[in-house]
Amino acid sequence: MSHYHAVVWLDHNEARIMHISPDDVEKSVVSPASPHRNLHRKRGSVSGSRQAEDPHYYHEVVEALAGATEILIVGPGQAKLELIKHIHSHDPATSARVIGVETVDHPSDAQLVAFARKYFVAKDRLLPQ
């Protein structure tokens, strides 16, 4: 089925992708290869830098978004911004389809779909006709 909109909610442990059409929702879940990683500052590190992100995780999320014309990225922390950085540097075609990035805590699937539908309706009203 062809879906026009997609929303992805993600943190460092999971990404929930919803492809949304007016009468249907298709859900998929992507998890990193090593879940529950501690991404805090490296203990004893001279630079104090964070551990590197898993680029394969973000690549799988982008693959799961294939087919969507407009994409909304949401989540509670930094993972959504790291996904945006990954998209900008590795997949410029997908970058053009991202229409918004919002901070959203931990919604249920139904709340996520309702939020996305409301967001897409408001965004479509702002587009020039």
Residue of 68, 67, 63 whose CA lies nearest to 83 = 63
3-class DSSP state of 78: coil
- Indicate the helix (H) or strand (E) that contains 86: helix 79-90
Q: How far apart are CA 27 and CA 109, in angstroms?
A: 9
Give the pTM.
0.83
Domains and CATH numbers, the chain: 5-34+52-126 (3.30.420.60)
Per-residue pLDDT of the chain (129 residues; tens, 9 = 90+): 456 899 999 999 999 999 998 888 999 999 998 765 555 555 555 555 555 667 899 999 999 999 999 999 999 989 999 999 999 999 999 999 999 999 999 999 999 999 999 999 887 766 565
Q: Tell me, what's the pLDDT at 14?
A: 95
Q: Tell me, what's the pLDDT at 69?
A: 92
